[in-house]
Amino acid sequence: MSRQPVPEVALEAARPPLVSTETRNGLRKDSAELEAVPIEPVSKDEPIVTRRELWSYYLYYNGDNGVGPNGYSMTLFQSLATAAGYDPVRGPGSSCSGDGSSGQCVLPWGGGHKAVSSIVLVANGVSFAIMTLIFTTIGSAADYGSFGRWLLFTITVICWGAQFASVSLTSPDRWGVAMALYMIGFISYGATLVFYAAIFPRLARNTKHARDLREKYERGEVPAEEYEVEESMEKNRISNISTMHSNIGYIFTLALNLSLLLPLKTHPKVNNYVIVFTNGYWVLTGIWWFIFQQPRPGPSLPKGEHYLTVGWKQIWIAFKQYKKLPYTFVYLVAFFLLADGLNTTGTLVSICQNDKFSFSFLQNTYLGLAQAVTSTASTLGFWYIQRYWKISTKKMASFVVTNVVTIMIPLWGMIGIWTTKLGFHNVWEFWAYNVVFGLFQAPYYAFSQTMMAELTPPGFDNMFFGLFGLSNRASSMIGPNVIQAIIDNTGDNWKGFPFLFALCTAASLVIWFGVDVTSGRRDAVLWAEKNRAYAETGMLVSEEDSAHSMKKD
Could you tell me if residue 458 is left (phi over 0), alpha (psi between -120 and 50 degrees) or otherwise beta? beta
What are the phi and psi torsion angles at 22 (to 5°)? -140, 140
Could you tell me if residue 538 is left (phi over 0), alpha (psi between -120 and 50 degrees) or otherwise beta? left
Rounded to whole angstroms, the Cα distance separating 210 from 305 reads: 34
Please state, in angstroms and as integers, the Cα–Cα distance from residue 137 to each residue in 123, 304, 339, 463, 474, following that order: 21, 16, 21, 11, 13
Judge if pTM exceeds 0.85. no
Residue 157: in which H helix or E strand, if any?
helix 147-165
Residue 449: in which H helix or E strand, if any?
helix 442-455
Does 29 have pLDDT greater than 70? no
Band of pLDDT at residue 497, cut at 50, 70 and 90: very high
Average pLDDT, the chain: 79
- 160 SS3 class: helix
The reported pLDDT for the residue numbered 309 is 75
Q: Which amino acid is at 268?
A: P
What are the phi and psi torsion angles at 115 (to 5°)? -65, 145
Nearest by Cα to 189 from 149, 163, 234, 159: 159
CATH architecture of the domain 47-299 equals: Up-down Bundle (1.20)
The reported pLDDT for the residue numbered 386 is 67
Band of pLDDT at residue 474, cut at 50, 70 and 90: low
Does 35 have pLDDT greater than 80? no
Q: In sequence order, what are the residues at sequence separation of 6 or more whose Cβ sits closer than 8 angstroms to the Cβ of residue 351?
A: 78, 117, 120, 121, 493
74-100 pLDDT, tens digit each = 999 999 999 999 998 888 888 888 777
Which residues lie across from 27 on neighbouring strands? 24
Q: Which amino acid is at 394?
A: K
Q: Is the model more confident about 221 or about 180?
A: 180
Count the residues in the chain: 553
DSSP secondary structure, 495-507, as one string: GGHHHHHHHHHHH
Q: What angle do CA 450, 446, 377 make, to 5 degrees?
A: 145
Are 452 and 464 contacting, i.e. CB atoms less than 8 angstroms apart? yes
Rounded to whole angstroms, the Cα distance separating 357 from 471 reads: 32
The reported pLDDT for the residue numbered 263 is 92
Q: Which amino acid is at 16?
A: P
110-163 pLDDT, tens digit each = 888 899 999 998 998 888 888 888 877 776 666 677 777 888 999 999 999 999
Does 552 have pLDDT greater than 50? no
Helices (H), ranges, 357-397:
361-389, 393-394
Q: Using the 8-state DSSP alphabet, how is residue 20 labeled?
A: -
Band of pLDDT at residue 186, cut at 50, 70 and 90: very high
Pick the CATH number of 320-533 from 1.20.1250.20, 1.10.3430.10, 3.40.50.620, 3.40.50.2000: 1.20.1250.20
The reported pLDDT for the residue numbered 187 is 93
Helices (runs of H) and strands (runs of E) counted in the chain: 23, 4
Are 459 and 528 contacting, i.e. CB atoms less than 8 angstroms apart? yes
Largest CA distance in the chain: 85
Band of pLDDT at residue 538, cut at 50, 70 and 90: low
Q: Domain-by-domain residue ranges, the chain?
A: 47-299, 320-533
